[in-house]
């Protein structure tokens, strides 16, 4: 994954690979690749609670559908940074919107 459209990271497309996601002022988060089906799907655990899946699906007219699934939310839990999941979810909703609708398309078109 490229840090240009998301966050800097040490990801490598190897099942079971441990990598770091550099999350800015929250520091480095440990991640692990748990699913790999190139070029269609990649999934990984993020921190202690979350799982992310990125899926690509070929459509007609040379188009591709991108789906992002961010799971593991629990209103009773707090992150390793001490923030309640409910607070972080609100922050990330806006972040994912910008990443998926602005950053990723700009990177692809460049």
Beta-bridge mates of residue 52: 44, 70
6-30 burial, b if ≥16 CB within 10 A, otherwise e? Answer: bbebebeeeeeeebebeeeeeeebe
Give me the phi and psi of 46, to 5 degrees please. -125, 115
**Residue-by-residue pLDDT tens, the chain, 110 positions:** 666 788 899 999 999 999 999 987 778 899 999 999 999 999 999 989 999 999 999 999 989 999 999 999 998 988 887 888 888 888 888 788 888 888 888 888 87
pLDDT at residue number 72: 92
Give me the phi and psi of 64, to 5 degrees please. -130, 135
pLDDT at residue number 59: 95
């Amino acid at each position: 994954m490229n840090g240009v459209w998301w966050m800097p990271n040490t990801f490598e497309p190897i099942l079971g690979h441990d990598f770091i996601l550099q999350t800015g002022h929250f520091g480095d988060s440990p991640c692990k690749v748990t699913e790999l089906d190139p070029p269609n799907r990649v999934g990984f655990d993020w921190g202690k609670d979350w799982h992310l899946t990125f899926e690509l699906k070929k459509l007609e007219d040379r188009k591709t559908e991108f789906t992002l699934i961010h799971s593991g939310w629990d209103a009773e839990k707090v992150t390793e940074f001490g923030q309640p999941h409910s607070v972080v979810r609100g922050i990330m909703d806006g972040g994912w919107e910008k990443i998926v609708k602005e950053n990723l398309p700009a990177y692809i078109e460049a």
